[in-house]
């Protein structure tokens, strides 16, 4: 009895300590934004309520993580993202596949949107109709709790999307707004004449220029326009209204109390709108994210915020906040991802080297999530200024990249499809799985063994390079067995118009069954990635706060990345060309050991086969 009392007292004290630490700043930010004391008091009361409702086991995890705040920066972190239905049918199915995830050495899973949505109007689940209900076909909130608690027992962290920029038009607020209830209309952006929407359109770019042009949708039954930055059925929330902020924070706390460890803040740059601006990355977005961080530091300090900022580097980094006033814990390394594919298509690493140098020079507190591809398209957000100095014009180069990955030019073996191609601007993004973009689909179809061997090498080399970057690697489920594009989405009228579904195919468990067989494509990829993951987990140089830098190789197709932590140094060499190359490096600090073959050698004048790579570790003494 005394023990229970003691631990409750300890928890109470922990809450008070956190609350008083952050109270002034939270109040100041809230007042600056809303100047509404009673809504602020309501927020504070609810934070305490959600804390009270938080499970003991989660509170313990919070305290553990408060004591070891670098827990997510270790070299064992490996993520995998997947749609629950594609991966294992439903929540329960996912629970039954945890052993497979362990085999993949994954200890962080991102469950793609699973909250209630309307089939056909779901945007892959990013149009949420109820933030407190799981899609029926996937299970229930209890199933989610059971899954997160099983994951925690296996030391697997669970990430989910928090789609805070908009709700589905079927969300209760939207339904009531559509009926003309003023209280609910004020939670969105409504206009009864086209003037203001037209003013917005002058400065606000379009997210889906082809599949959902414009930023407003006319509602004839209400005689109003509503702001819809994404699809017409995704209504933008008005964070100028404190009721929206408070309620969304309660939804956030409700979800983390189900055992979620990592909250991916979807489309975060968009959450604040102002007429006459681009409505992206406005200063008040940062006020909101900082408040969200404070709220989680008080109620659930073990939870991480991952910002989805698909923007150029100078716009991304501010979402980390400052060292004193942090915002997100982690951000996607999106420019590096796009630049990686540019490098594949050009076989020239110079732009990638420059991009990695920018990332590597940022404070080590900043943690990036690295990936080769995700559920979204690849947009060609590259550093065109630098490319211009190399004679490459933006429009022509984007066209080259799309042609290349369509498999039409440049000796390409890639397969995939364009996304939101705009014939007027010539702008278009690209969709495809890693394996298909590396030539595995084409080689398989043509039953060309030699081409397949090369495609597998390319696929594995790209993963090896991704694992070497500064930050945490994230796999897309199915990539670990080289799954290729899935064209069946074209037969589904709810999906046919959105080519992103080409790389969101169902997990092929019949392939996964063959991972032990090294003669199969899936077996080869799985085994080789496994080896790399093993190395990453056992070599301290891979911690996310280690020092990372690039080394000039004097060979345009070969990239060299070095990492060092507590005197342990590993260098990685990656050949982005199908031809054999020599890296003209000369590291004169002793002998190196090839972490894959075990051979000892000098790190100088290294021959690398086409699409080959090396991980070399400096020998001690």
Query: Which residues are known to be catalytic?
Result: 266, 308
* Alpha helical stretches, state H, 207-333: 242-256, 283-299, 313-316
Q: Which is nearer to ligand GLC, 212 or 291 (CB)?
A: 212
Element (H, E) at 66: helix 56-67
Q: What are residue 418's DSSP bridge partners?
A: 430
Taking every pair of Cα atoms in the chain, the longest distance, rounded to a whole number of angstroms, is 78
Calculate ∠ Cα 536-504-406, nearest 5°.
Answer: 95
Residues 549-568 that bind ligand GLC (CB under 6 A): none
The minimum distance between CB 232 and ligand GLC, in angstroms, equals 12
Q: Which is nearer to ligand GLC, 407 or 428 (CB)?
A: 428
Q: Token digits for 2?
A: 């005394």
The minimum distance between CB 229 and ligand GLC, in angstroms, equals 8
Residue 137: CA count within 13 A, CB half-sphere: 11
Element (H, E) at 564: strand 558-565
Residues 460-519 that bind ligand GLC (CB under 6 A): none
DSSP at 333: -
Distance from C-alpha of 51 to C-alpha of 14, rounded to nearest angstrom = 11
Q: What are residue 306's DSSP bridge partners?
A: 264, 330
Q: At what angle do helices 56-67 and 141-153 cross, to 10 degrees?
A: 40
Pairing, β 367-371 against β 547-550 = unpaired
Residues 269-308 that bind ligand GLC (CB under 6 A): 308
Distance from C-alpha of 206 to C-alpha of 80, rounded to nearest angstrom = 30
Say which residues have a Cβ less than 8 Å from residue 548's Cβ, sequence separation at least 6: 356, 360, 469, 470, 561, 562, 563
The minimum distance between CB 379 and ligand GLC, in angstroms, equals 10
Does residue 115 bind ligand GLC (CB under 6 A)? no
Distance from C-alpha of 454 to C-alpha of 81, rounded to nearest angstrom = 26
Does residue 116 bind ligand GLC (CB under 6 A)? no
Collapsed DSSP state (helix, strand, coil) of residue 528: helix
The minimum distance between CB 112 and ligand GLC, in angstroms, equals 9
Does residue 266 bind ligand GLC (CB under 6 A)? yes
Residues 123-152 that bind ligand GLC (CB under 6 A): 123-124, 126
| Closest chain position to ligand GLC (CB) | 126
Q: Which is nearer to ligand GLC, 124 or 240 (CB)?
A: 124
Q: Which is nearer to ligand GLC, 259 or 307 (CB)?
A: 307
Residues contacting ligand GLC: total by CB under 6 A: 10
The minimum distance between CB 236 and ligand GLC, in angstroms, equals 10
Element (H, E) at 449: helix 449-468
DSSP at 500: G
Q: Which is nearer to ligand GLC, 15 or 341 (CB)?
A: 341
The minimum distance between CB 264 and ligand GLC, in angstroms, equals 9
Select from 378, 393, 385, 400 the least CA-distant residue to 355.
385
Distance from C-alpha of 487 to C-alpha of 275, rounded to nearest angstrom = 41
Kindly indicate which of the ranges 119-127, 171-179, 198-206, 589-597 contains the residues binding ligand GLC, using the contact rule CB under 6 A: 119-127
Q: Of 147, 248, 267, 300, which lies in the binding site for ligand GLC, with binding defined by CB under 6 A? A: 267
Q: Token digits for 317?
A: 């980094």
Residues 44-103 that bind ligand GLC (CB under 6 A): none
The minimum distance between CB 81 and ligand GLC, in angstroms, equals 10
Distance from C-alpha of 128 to C-alpha of 217, rounded to nearest angstrom = 18
Q: Which is nearer to ligand GLC, 126 or 400 (CB)?
A: 126
Residues 421-450 that bind ligand GLC (CB under 6 A): none
Kindly indicate which of the ranges 45-53, 120-128, 282-290, 538-546 contains the residues binding ligand GLC, using the contact rule CB under 6 A: 120-128
Q: Of 88, 163, 515, 603, which lies in the binding site for ligand GLC, with binding defined by CB under 6 A? A: 163
Query: Are 621 and 592 in contact, with CB atoms under 8 Å apart?
Result: no
Kindly indicate which of the ranges 121-129, 179-187, 295-303, 336-344 contains the residues binding ligand GLC, using the contact rule CB under 6 A: 121-129
Q: Of 376, 427, 480, 533, which lies in the binding site for ligand GLC, with binding defined by CB under 6 A? A: 376
Kindly indicate which of the ranges 35-43, 118-126, 476-484, 529-537 contains the residues binding ligand GLC, using the contact rule CB under 6 A: 118-126
The minimum distance between CB 123 and ligand GLC, in angstroms, equals 5
Calculate ∠ Cα 65-291-70, nearest 5°.
Answer: 20
Select from 512, 510, 489 the least CA-distant residue to 501.
489
Distance from C-alpha of 204 to C-alpha of 227, rounded to nearest angstrom = 11
The minimum distance between CB 127 and ligand GLC, in angstroms, equals 7
Instruction: Using only the alpha carbons of the chain, give its radius of gyration.
Output: 25
Q: Which is nearer to ligand GLC, 308 or 417 (CB)?
A: 308
Q: Which is nearer to ligand GLC, 375 or 618 (CB)?
A: 375
The minimum distance between CB 278 and ligand GLC, in angstroms, equals 16
Residues 221-240 that bind ligand GLC (CB under 6 A): 230
Residues 303-332 that bind ligand GLC (CB under 6 A): 308
Residues in the chain: 621
Q: Which is nearer to ligand GLC, 266 or 522 (CB)?
A: 266
Q: Which is nearer to ligand GLC, 59 or 429 (CB)?
A: 429
Positions in the binding site for ligand GLC (CB under 6 A): 123-124, 126, 163, 230, 266-267, 308, 375-376
């Amino acid at each position: 009895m005394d023990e229970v009392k003691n631990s409750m007292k300890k928890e109470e004290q922990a809450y008070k300590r956190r609350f008083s630490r952050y109270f002034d700043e939270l109040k100041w930010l809230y007042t600056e934004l809303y100047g509404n004391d009673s809504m602020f008091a309501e927020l504070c009361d609810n934070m305490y309520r959600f804390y009270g409702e938080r499970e003991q086991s989660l509170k313990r995890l919070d305290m553990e993580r408060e004591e070891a705040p670098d827990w997510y920066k270790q070299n064992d972190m490996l993520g995998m993202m997947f749609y629950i239905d594609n991966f294992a049918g439903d929540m329960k199915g996912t629970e039954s596949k945890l052993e497979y995830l362990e085999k993949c050495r994954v200890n962080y899973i991102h469950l793609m949107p699973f909250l209630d949505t309307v089939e056909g109007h779901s945007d892959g689940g990013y149009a949420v109709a109820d933030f407190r209900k799981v899609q029926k076909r996937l299970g229930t909130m209890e199933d989610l709790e059971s899954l997160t608690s099983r994951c925690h027992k296996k030391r697997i962290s669970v990430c989910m999307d928090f789609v805070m920029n908009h709700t589905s038009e079927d969300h209760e607020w939207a339904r009531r707004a559509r009926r003309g209830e003023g209280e609910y209309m004020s939670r969105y952006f409504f206009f009864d004449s086209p003037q203001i929407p037209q003013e917005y359109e002058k400065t606000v770019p379009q997210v889906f220029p082809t599949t959902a042009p414009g930023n407003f949708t006319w509602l004839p039954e209400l005689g109003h326009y509503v702001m819809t930055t994404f699809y017409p059925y995704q209504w933008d929330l008005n964070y100028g209204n404190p009721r929206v902020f408070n309620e969304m924070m309660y939804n956030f706390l409700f979800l983390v109390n189900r055992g979620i460890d990592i909250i991916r803040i979807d489309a975060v740059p968009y959450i604040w709108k102002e007429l006459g601006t681009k409505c992206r990355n406005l200063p008040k977005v940062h006020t909101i994210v900082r408040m969200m961080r404070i709220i989680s530091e008080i109620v659930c300090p073990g939870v991480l915020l991952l910002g989805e900022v698909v923007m150029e580097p100078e716009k991304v980094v501010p979402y980390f906040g400052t060292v004193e006033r942090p915002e997100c814990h982690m951000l996607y390394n999106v420019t590096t991802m796009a630049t990686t594919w540019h490098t594949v298509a050009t076989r020239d690493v110079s732009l990638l080297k420059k991009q990695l140098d920018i990332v590597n020079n940022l404070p080590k507190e900043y943690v990036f999530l690295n990936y080769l591809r995700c559920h979204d398209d690849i947009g060609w957000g590259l550093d065109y200024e630098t490319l211009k100095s190399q004679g490459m014009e933006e429009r022509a180069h984007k066209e080259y990249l799309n042609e290349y990955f369509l498999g039409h030019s440049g000796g390409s073996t890639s397969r995939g499809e364009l996304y939101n191609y705009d014939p007027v601007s010539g702008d278009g993004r690209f969709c495809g799985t890693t394996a298909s973009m590396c030539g595995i689909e084409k080689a398989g179809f043509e039953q060309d063994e030699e081409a397949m061997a090369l495609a597998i090498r390319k696929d594995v080399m790209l993963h090896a390079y991704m694992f070497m970057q500064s930050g945490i690697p994230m796999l897309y489920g199915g990539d670990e067995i080289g799954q290729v594009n899935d064209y069946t989405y074209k037969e589904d009228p709810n999906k046919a118009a959105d080519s992103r579904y080409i790389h969101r195919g169902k997990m092929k468990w019949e392939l996964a069954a063959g991972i032990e067989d090294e003669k199969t494509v899936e077996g080869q990829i799985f085994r080789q990635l496994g080896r790399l993951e093993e190395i990453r987990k056992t070599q301290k140089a891979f911690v996310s706060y280690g020092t990372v830098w690039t080394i000039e190789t004097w060979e345009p197709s070969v990239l060299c990345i070095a990492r060092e932590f507590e005197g342990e140094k590993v260098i990685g060499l990656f050949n982005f060309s199908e031809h054999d190359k020599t890296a003209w490096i000369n590291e004169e600090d002793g002998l190196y050991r090839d972490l894959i073959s075990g051979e000892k050698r000098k790190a100088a004048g290294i021959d690398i086969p086409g699409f080959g790579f090396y991980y070399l570790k400096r020998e001690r003494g």
